[in-house]
C-alpha cells in the first residue's frame, strides 16, 4: 500500500489521535496600516492603522496545526492573568482544545508579539514577555495537570520557544513521566542545552539551531549534519533527529543512518510557522502508527502548502494528499 492509500484508509476509519501539547503559548498581534509621511518627532514613519488581528503563536500555532489535521488536543502551559491570556484561552476553547492544564500566573505576562505592517513590509515588532523559569509551585501544579492528562494521549509534543517553561529539571520530569507511560515524546527545541531533552523519541531542530547546539560553525552538507548530530545523540540518546533545512527540505538522522528528503515546495512566499506545521504533522501521523519516515514525507508536503501563504498558516490532511498527488 502506498503512502497516499495509507493516509486515505486512516481518513476512512476516522481515526483521530489525541495529542498532549506542552509548550510556550503566545499571542501574535498584527497591526496593518498605511504610512505616507514621516513623524516630525523622529525619523520614523507615521502609521495610520487600518485593521488589527490576533492569532495564536508559539505552541499555540502548533496546536492550531494539529486541530486543522483533525487531532484531539489538550494543552499544558503557563500564561499571565491578563487580557491576552484570556483571549488565548478563548481562541483555543473555540477550536475544541482542552485547556484545563493551562495555568494563569499573576507574576507573568502572557507573551504577545505585536507586528506593525505597511503593505507586506514589517516596520517593527514589539514583544511583551517574561522569560524567567516558572516557580517551583507552578512546576508542581503543571506536572499534576500533565499526569492527569497524559494517559489519554497517544503522543506528547513539547514546543519549546525558550520563554521559561522548559527549565532542565522540569523538562526531564515531563519526559520521564511520558516514558514511564510508554508515550513517545516529540520535541521542537530551542536554546543550547539539549541535554534537558534526554529520553525524547524525536527532536526536530532547524539547521541553525542544530549548529548552535552542537557548537558547529556551519552546516552545509550531509556530512556536516551527521557530525553535528553525533553531539546531540551523545547528549540526548534520542531515536530520531529530524533537521529542517528550509528550501532544501529536511534530513532524518539516526545513530546508524541518515536520509535527505528534498523540499516539495514550488513557490515560497513566507516560511513563518513552517516549523510548527512540520512538528505537528510528524506528531499526528506518528501517533496514528505511521513510520517516522512516512510522517516526515507527509510533513514535507504539508510545509510546501503553508509556505505558499503569507504569515503562519495551517494545512489539512486533504490538502497534503492533494499536494502529493500533484507532485
- Spot the catalytic one: 24, 188, 276, 323: 276
CB 96 within 8 A of CB 10: no
Q: Kindly state the helix (H) or strand (E) to which residue 125 belongs, with its residue range.
A: strand 121-128
CB atoms within 10 A of CB 111: 27
Rounded distance, CA 184 to CA 281, Å? Answer: 15
DSSP 165: S
**Is 276 designated active site?**
yes
Residue 84's nearest CA partner among 124, 43, 127 is 127
Percent composition of the chain: helix, strand, coil (DSSP 3-state, to 5): 40, 30, 30
CB 192 within 8 A of CB 230: no
- The grid coordinates listed for 314 are 495551517
Place of cell 520563554: 163
CB 299 within 8 A of CB 277: yes
Give the residue numbers marked as catalytic: 276
Amino acid at each position: 500500500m502506498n503512502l497516499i492509500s495509507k493516509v486515505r484508509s486512516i481518513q476512512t476509519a476516522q481515526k483521530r489521535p489525541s495529542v498532549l501539547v506542552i509548550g510556550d503559548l503566545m499571542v501574535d498581534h498584527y497591526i496593518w496600516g498605511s504610512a505616507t509621511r514621516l513623524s516630525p518627532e523622529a525619523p520614523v514613519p507615521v502609521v495610520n492603522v487600518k485593521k488589527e488581528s490576533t492569532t495564536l503563536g508559539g505552541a499555540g500555532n502548533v496546536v492550531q496545526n494539529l486541530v486543522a489535521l483533525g487531532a484531539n488536543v489538550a494543552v499544558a502551559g503557563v500564561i499571565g492573568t491578563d487580557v491576552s491570556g484570556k483571549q488565548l484561552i478563548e481562541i483555543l476553547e473555540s477550536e475544541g482544545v482542552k485547556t484545563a492544564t493551562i495555568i494563569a500566573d499573576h507574576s507573568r505576562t502572557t507573551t504577545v508579539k505585536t507586528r506593525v505592517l505597511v503593505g507586506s513590509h514589517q516596520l517593527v515588532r514589539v514583544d511583551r514577555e517574561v522569560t524567567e523559569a516558572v516557580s517551583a509551585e507552578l512546576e508542581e501544579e503543571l506536572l499534576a495537570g500533565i499526569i492527569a492528562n497524559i494517559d489519554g494521549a497517544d503522543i506528547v509534543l513539547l514546543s519549546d520557544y525558550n520563554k521559561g517553561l522548559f527549565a532542565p529539571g522540569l523538562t526531564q520530569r515531563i519526559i520521564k513521566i511520558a516514558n514511564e507511560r510508554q508515550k513517545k515524546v516529540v520535541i521542537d527545541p530551542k536554546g543550547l542545552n539539549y541535554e534537558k531533552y534526554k529520553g525524547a523519541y524525536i527532536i526536530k531542530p532547524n539547521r541553525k539551531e542544530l549548529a548552535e547546539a552542537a557548537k558547529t560553525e556551519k552546516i552545509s552538507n550531509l556530512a556536516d549534519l551527521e557530525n553535528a548530530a553525533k553531539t546531540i545523540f551523545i547528549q540526548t540518546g534520542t531515536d530520531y533527529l529530524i533537521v529542517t533545512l528550509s528550501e532544501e527540505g529536511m534530513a532524518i538522522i539516526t545513530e546508524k543512518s541518515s536520509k535527505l528528503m528534498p523540499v516539495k515546495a514550488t513557490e515560497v512566499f513566507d516560511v513563518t510557522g513552517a516549523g510548527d506545521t512540520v512538528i505537528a504533522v510528524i506528531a499526528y501521523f506518528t501517533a496514528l502508527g505511521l513510520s517516522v519516515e512516512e510522517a516526515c514525507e507527509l510533513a514535507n508536503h504539508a510545509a510546501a502548502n503553508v509556505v505558499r501563504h503569507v504569515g503562519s498558516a495551517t494545512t489539512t490532511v486533504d490538502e497534503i494528499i492533494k499536494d502529493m498527488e500533484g507532485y
